[in-house]
Structure 1
Amino acid sequence: MTKKMGYRWNLRKIMAERDMFATTDLVPLLAERGVHLSREQVFRLVTQPPQRLSMDTLAALCDILDVGVADLIEITVVSKQVRKAVGETGKAPAPTVRRSTIRRPEGL
């Protein structure tokens, strides 16, 4: 059985709920907590789910927004558990091969 996990990054939504719409508003608030990120880094942090995130940044965001980690990062199941039938190998079927014919336009 396989189960693939994912997550939903809720920073932008939580900021909007607190009437924080400019990503640059976070720059000085993070700096007050010892996290120094450029405007571009904060923009990416707000607009894209991060692949890596320091614990200092995560703790600072939780403090700034007065939320817990589970509010910022919502764990989801991307694909459900699938049981393989007896005899299944788990391999995808081979693609169908189609031959093509290249025809030149007349007069060339």
Structure 2
Amino acid sequence: MQRRIEYTWRLRELMTAGGMHNISDLIPQLKDRGIELSASQIYRLVGAKPERMNIALLGALLDVLDCTFEELCPVAVVATPARLAANGTNGGSSDRKDAMRPRRARIHRPE
């Protein structure tokens, strides 16, 4: 079994619940906590699920939204069956392997 981590990003939802409807509402809140991001960076942060993030930014978001990490970003571990590696053998007998092998060429020198 392979285990995969899945998560959802609920920043926009929590902002709305806190009365912040625009990114311009979030910019001064983050600036008060020492995080200075451009409007385009915050737009991407609100609109899309981030793959990596600065811990200071994450802490500031949790403080601004007055929530926990689990509320902002619920995480689930999903187990998927591992694929079997195709190695070209099906457990067949050795006769079959010999049948697949080409015959050795015999080269004679002209006399």
**Do they fold alike, i.e. is TM over 0.5?**
yes
Q: Give the count of matched residue pairs.
A: 87
Kindly tell me: are residues 83 and 65 of structure 1, through their superposed partners in 2, closer, same or farther at Cα, counting changes over 3 Å?
Answer: same
Contiguous gaps of at least 5 residues in structure 2: 88-111
Cα drift, residue 3 of structure 1: 1.6
CA distance in 1, matches of 2:30, 2:81: 43
Q: Paired residue for 1:65? A: 65
2:85 is aligned with what amino acid? T
Structure 1 residues 63-101: Cα deviation after superposition (integer angstroms, max 9, x where no partner)? 111001111111124x533266xxx4368xxxxxxxxxx
For 1:39-58, list aligned pairs within 5 A: 39-58=39-58
C-alpha RMSD over aligned residues: 1.8
Q: Which amino acid in structure 1 is aligned with residue 49 of structure 2?
A: P
Segments of 5+ residues of structure 1 without an aligned counterpart are 92-108
Query: Secondary structure, in 3 states, of the residue corresponding to 1:80?
Result: strand
Deviating beyond 4 angstroms after TM superposition, the runs of 4 or more aligned structure 1 residues are none
Q: Could you say which structure has the higher helix fraction?
A: 2
SS at match of 2:85: coil
In structure 1, the partner of 2:92 is none
Percent of pairs identical after alignment? 33
